[in-house]
Structure 1
């Protein structure tokens, strides 16, 4: 019990440090994060391609799939961008604001006394793996990911979702988390959610290995349990289509941007 308390306090301290350094619509400050290496701009890459295409002595090869190195450049630029539009953190914050607008509208239109539910995914919806993704150059190394995701460093909030949850709770909406993380990560996930600023959620669902044929089936089944308990699924928000699809669906489904990885 004492270890758990210490872990939560340590995670809260780290999260507070990250939050204090984070500006709205900007990426968080990551410990020991290397700076992006210099690389050609999109216009420079296009100019090089056009120059080659115009040279009659160059025999071009068909390239039906985008170059992964160039895609990594684009992902890093999008993730680190701090402009007013066309930047990941700005787009993310704008979409969570649309979710907040839909939530407030749904509450106003709900029948009196209805039990309303807000359903949230965790990774790239409630907590951000930006720092780990950048550290691995947008690759996935299972051993490193599994170690990082249960560490205090994984308590990085997505500010717009924190605002959404606090507003939902102020309006009497019950909050549920449904994540594809395994049951073995429950304690670490709860600690990091708490450190990131989430509190008083009603239930956290984690996935049991082999219990469902797909993420879509698992998350739909968990939403069905919420509905069976008498709740109206007012709003469901996630970064993957598998977070949102399948029956029953919420009255409002909000898809957050995530160009970094895909989960079927």
Structure 2
């Protein structure tokens, strides 16, 4: 899929993009980005676009450059609703997840790894981070299950979903407040647990710092920790671990 000049000009005619945007997309100036097209060969996963801090025009330019180089799998994270409204005009074949804030394009979506990944989140407020992990792991070719609202305040809910959790090759646990869920899950499964502290909680949560410290100090063996709200990093790491189980 390549955005043709005709489509760009139609977007200008419909006042969906400016003339300056059209010139940039047609000429493809990339003085603001140097895409690593060899990353797929080195690491198994191509470069991912981090949308936060970039202008919508820059994101569009990067996407266009990747498409022009025949990249058939593109994942952009932290794409705001405003950025999406601009990008969807130019790239209607991409999918946007409004909760995960991801913008994806995959010409051949399929599950390639044998094992399963389960993403667990403590509460509904943790879902945006959990969905980012879910979309990332799924995009990279894994069978992924999302389990929501099983925090320690109602721990019986966790036990009702325990069979699915124990069936996973790797578990991602997203939790805010005191971040206790990761330790609980880590004490129930023999599989690796990737803990994701979220910035959910009242003042003393310190925007996720208290959950981060709790998870780093977990007494459950086999629990590793990524940075606050880093659902993408957790999904990517879960994929890396799941790859060790082999391909289908």
TM norm structure 1:
0.28
More helix by proportion, 1 or 2? Answer: 1
More strand by proportion, 1 or 2? Answer: 2
Structure with larger Rg: 1
Higher relative contact order (CA 8 A, sep 6+): 1
